[in-house]
Amino acid sequence: MKELVLRYGTNPQQSPARVYMQSGANLPIVVHGGSPGYINLLDAMNSWQLVRELKQATGLPAAASFKHVSPSGAAVATPLTETLRKIYFVDDLELSPLASAYARARGVDRLCSFGDFVALSDTVDVSTARILAREVSDGVIAPGYQPEALEILRKKKLGKYAIVEIDPAYEPSGLETREVFGITFEQHRHDRLVSPADFANLVTIKKDLPAEALRDLTIAWITLKYTQSNSVCFVVDGQTIGVGAGQQSRIHCVRLAGQKADLWRLRQHPHVMNLPFRPEIKRPDRDNAIDQFLRDDVTPNVKAAWNDIFTSAPRQLTSDEKRAWLGVMDGVTCGSDAFFPFRDSIDRAAASGVKYVLEPGGSARDEAVIQAANAYGMTMVFSGVRLFHH
């Protein structure tokens, strides 16, 4: 296929639109179902690169849930606890390794993953297809599909679900171009891969990096590479638990990522896991209700609406209960795509259990940031590699 004609571009008023290879070669993708749009394919190309590199770096099946050209979640295949299976709504399913990776990537931030585009590093199996079939999602990209998995996905959205297969051997040119306002920009493609040397410069007093931390540092490094700058992500247990993307201030990235990480942790509180939902309430509505339930600024009108969601009015967690539950979160990795210019980011990261920090270094205030990390007993790595993505 030389080109794929799209219904429109970024917005409905931007037509005509298409994707094609400037070289005239065939596209490295095949569409097996649906009609992916311009934004879908931007998400597909970015997310495929992310999961491909995660698989290359860790040797584990990888998945990403993308929205508007940034990941809402990314993960590699590690076993899920019963608690995570429940809050990710997969406790009724048998999970393959690939399905486990996607359950993590999709489940960590279910509000942001609503209507996602999915990337999977491996051939899609039936286990993974069954999760995809029941979630609100726009499409998926993968290097292949088992026949039965493909049939499951072709039934989704009355056949309109975008199913994209990419040639896993495809490698683009070393140069990439884009046109903005009639002006062509050209640069060398960001093809630098993560390396063990990126984690060798330990700048804090504490210098321990267990295998799990190295894995999570790797996931943070690769995730940031494909997240809109400025970006910060929190990672634990082989998955992102909070991504702060596209903010103009780095502290706002940290606050956003930290807030998402805290919500992820609070969703595991026994009181939250046992909220008395009416049986007919669907998963997306439960997600929204849990998000509101955990807020401190719930209005009387919102509480009144809970009568239609819960069988009885639930008691909200107190601030002390939240702090006590969040206080046990530990071993979290915080990665940043550029240096932290002030210690405020470290102070906020510590509140969400961060013990390992990855950043390039290079700020005039590096020493103040290192001192803050030392005060919290963190291990900080200066990678020397900036990871801006625009």
Choosing from 32, 68, 157, 206, the catalytic residue is 68
Choosing from 55, 67, 156, 225, the catalytic residue is 67
Choosing from 230, 260, 355, 389, the catalytic residue is 230
239-245/231-236 β-pairing: antiparallel
Could you give the CA distance from residue 262 to residue 104 in angstroms, rounded to a whole number? 16
The arrangement of strands across the sheet holding 62-67 comes to: 29-33, 162-166, 137-142, 116-120, 62-67, 70-76, 239-245, 231-236, 332-336, 354-359, 379-382
65: phi then psi, degrees, rounded to nearest 5? -115, 115
Which amino acid is located at 276 in the chain?
A: P
Could you give the CA distance from residue 275 to residue 285 in angstroms, rounded to a whole number? 13
Closest CA to 79 of 104, 57, 54: 104
Contact (CB, 8 A) for 233 and 254: no
Which stretch of DSSP H or E encloses residue 116? Answer: strand 116-120
The yes-or-no answer on residue 67 being catalytic is: yes
The yes-or-no answer on residue 188 being catalytic is: no
Cβ neighbour number for residue 170 with a 10 Å cutoff: 13
- Buried-state track 14-38, b at ≥16 Cβ within 10 A, e below 16: eeebebeeeeeeebbbebebbebbb
The yes-or-no answer on residue 190 being catalytic is: no
Residues labelled catalytic: 67-68, 230, 390
